[in-house]
Each structure stands twice: as C-alpha cells, then as structure tokens.
Amino acid sequence: MEDEAAAHCSRAGCRADAAWSIGWRNPRIHSADRVKLWAACDEHRPFLHDYLETRGFPVVVVPAGTVIDVVPDGSRS
C-alpha cells in the first residue's frame, strides 16, 4: 500500500485523504497475522467498516499511520 500519509480513501470513487486504517481478514482462509488494509476518510469509515463486519470478517479501525500487526477473531472495532 502507498505511504499512509498520502493514502486515499478505499471507497470506490473517493479521492479524499485517508484519516483511518481499516485492518481486516477473511478468517476462513487467513490466520490472525494476515492483515489486509483499507484506507478510509472520515465520511466513509463507517460504510467500509460495516461492509466488512456484515460479512463476518474481523475488523480493526485505527488512525491512519498506526501499524496493525494482527486482526484477532471477534474484532469489531
């Protein structure tokens, strides 16, 4: 992923600067240390989080630039 400081929101069509990092994984195929990252602006953070959570994926949301090493089962921040 590009530098977090210059990252843009991962929501389709949005080019706003990212304020949040969303770490997630598919627990059926990835262990807790396999973290996928999306970037989110303030407007789209709830949408992106809810999109992943409704699919049953563990999700961790932290300020942009924060390192996410693992996404444990049951994570729903």
Decide if 70 is inside a domain: no
Decide if 53 is inside a domain: yes
Host H or E run for residue 64:
none
Higher pLDDT, residue 22 or 5: 22
Decide if 77 is inside a domain: no
Question: Does 1 have pLDDT greater than 50?
Answer: no
Q: pLDDT tens for residues 30-59? A: 998 999 999 999 999 999 999 999 999 999
pTM score of the predicted model? 0.85
- Residue 14's pLDDT band, with cuts at 50, 70 and 90, is very high
> Closest Cα partner for 34 from 71, 63, 65, 3?
71
- Domain of residue 20 covers 4-63
Strands across the sheet with 36-40, in order? Answer: 36-40, 20-24, 59-63
Burial class of residue 76 (count of CB atoms within 10 Å of its CB; 0-12, 13-18, 19+): exposed
Task: Specify the pLDDT at position 22.
Answer: 97
Decide if 12 is inside a domain: yes
How many domains are contained in the chain? 1
